[in-house]
A and B are shown apart, each in its own frame.
Chain A
Amino acid sequence: MQIPVEGFMYPNEVELQWSVLIVLYPFITGLVAGAFILASLERVFRVQAVKPTYRLALLTALSFLLVAPLPLQLHLGHPERSLEMYLTPHRSSAMAMFGFVYLWYLMAVLLLEIWLDYRHDIVARSQSEKGWKRLVYRLLTFGSSNVSERALRIDERLGYFITLVGIPSAFLLHGYVGFIFGSVKANPWWSSPLMPIVFVFSAMVSGIAAVMLLYMLSTRLRGQQIDIRCVDKIAQYLLYTFVIDFSLEMLDLIQRIYEADESFRSLDFMVHTRLWKSQVIIQILLGTVTPIALLGLTQVVKLTETARKRIYGLAGCLTVIGIFAMRWNVVIGGQLFSKSFLGYTTYKMAFATREGLLIAIGLMILPFGILWVLVKLLPPWPDSGSLPASGAPAHGTS
């Protein structure tokens, strides 16, 4: 099958090496980092209003983090060899070092913080549950069922400390993904020192939007009332980070336009043709300007609760779509033009192949499956079932 090519491409540029899966990788890691940063803000700055989403955000971060390496591994011909980067890491390989950033974030930050936060519940359940579930919770207690006040206070302190370490770690995690692209000096579409920063802020935007949507959806599903104070606050955060993110991206754009280096004409042409729909229409107009305007509207006009909820829902969905489009435009856009700046190729997404659409959809559903299991195992809401109301000392009281 011939790939439609326009102008001149070098032979190794005609077929894209990085597929839709490599679009998912920064998208998913972004959701992780964003969800975690939202949870941390609540904890470090003691924002009571967004408390209802704290645990949900942590579990969301975990379930997406577990899926984050899969798109990369599916891209490899020998996925099992990816583990060798832990055994014989090469310090000059950005990807190998990402393995350690990932592991650090998973083991030293996320799992630890979740464990400390849930320990009280885990201990309670290891005593109240029966059968295999009891065994699971028993295992999770590591054989210590001490939930005395002092023990919990120590957990709380330690958890706070881990959150403090966690914030820079989350920035590192996603900043690193940006760095991997930003440091490809041969590709003018990627190579920019602003890349890690733009990635971090867009990660926060997508993560906050995702947690907001998940919170609204899960509360609905459980037949509970949505805490409007909470979503108001989250929407406010979303707006602020979004404005910063958008400003950074525009700054980058203006700089590029004014600088107009040798790649500019080619990239400009690409944005006006092949990327017009995904970049200008979906990413900028639909996925950035519209949600910012909608969220801005809720800040200046007094609206009813229902109207606000609807707007938040809509803005949240548009935001997530917009950030996905941004990842798409970075990853796919960066491979559509020739290094000769004289030609353009086309990305043809396969369907049922190892890197096709079907797998991509599966990978996007998988985190929700994991989240469902996690939520069953470690309910993030205080009033679930027979649990003696989660007695973990409220954050902010220590």
Chain B
Amino acid sequence: MNLFKDIEHLIRLAVVIVVLLLVFVVLRVAVVPHSFGEYGHYRGDAIQEVAARPISFAGHAVCEDCHTDVVDQKKLGKHVVVSCEACHGAQARHVEDPGSVKPAKLDTAILCARCHEANSAKPKGFPQVATADHSAGLACDTCHQPHRPKIETAAKNEAGGRK
């Protein structure tokens, strides 16, 4: 018996493996995007694609041009550090055409809790309340002025304000 017959099954196996490897190589060429690795370990075209996307945030400075009253209010309170669009959402389209694109009304019960819901993981100094106890079910802006949230003593009322 010649050796070839006795290792025939191994040769067949080797052929199967080689075919699988070839399939892998072909698949790789077909599937991996051409611009992959152009600049780094990612698809190079992604940069142009991202750059071509419409801008959705206008930035704080732009709002200031028209809404001076709000800006002046905001400067007086601690929300001076919070950007307009952090609450109102991306407003680039509103800036382009303020007449027809109006920012949506905000639901303060959700909005304010997003940052102020009490959580032991937050730094102690950050103002936070357990909203369920604190607001007695009322919307936050019934008592707080969103742009200048601090409540001066006169407005304090027994229904709210518990921490």
Contacts and interface: CB of A to CB of B under 8 A. Distances in A.
Are A and B associated in one complex? yes
Interface of A: 5, 8-11, 13-14, 86-88, 90, 115, 119, 141-144, 146, 148, 150-151, 154, 158, 343
Closest 9 CB pairs of A and B: A144-B9, A142-B12, A151-B6, A11-B121, A150-B6, A9-B121, A144-B8, A5-B120, A14-B121
A142 B9 contact: yes
B67 interface: no
B9 A141 contact: yes
7 contacts: A9-B121, A13-B121, A14-B119, A90-B41, A142-B9, A142-B12, A146-B5
Which size bracket describes the interface of B in this complex?
20 to 34
A10 B119 CA distance: 10
A119 B13 CA distance: 12
A146 B121 contact: no
Contacts of A10: 121
B50 interface: no
A9 B120 contact: yes
A95 B121 CA distance: 30
Interface string B10-51: 101100100000001001100110001100010000000000
A233 to B, nearest CB: 33
B8 A88 contact: no
Contact of B9 (A8, A14, A151): A151
B1 interface: yes
A148 B6 contact: yes
Given A5-B121, A11-B122, A87-B27, 13 more contacts: A9-B121, A11-B119, A87-B31, A87-B32, A88-B37, A142-B9, A142-B16, A144-B12, A146-B8, A146-B9, A148-B5, A151-B5, A154-B6
Contacts of A151: 5-7, 9
Nearest to A119: B9
A141 B31 CA distance: 32
Nearest to B5: A146
B114 to A, nearest CB: 13
Given A8-B121, A9-B121, A13-B121, A88 B32 contact: yes
Nearest to B11: A144
A122 B122 CA distance: 64
A8 B120 contact: yes
Nearest to A89: B41
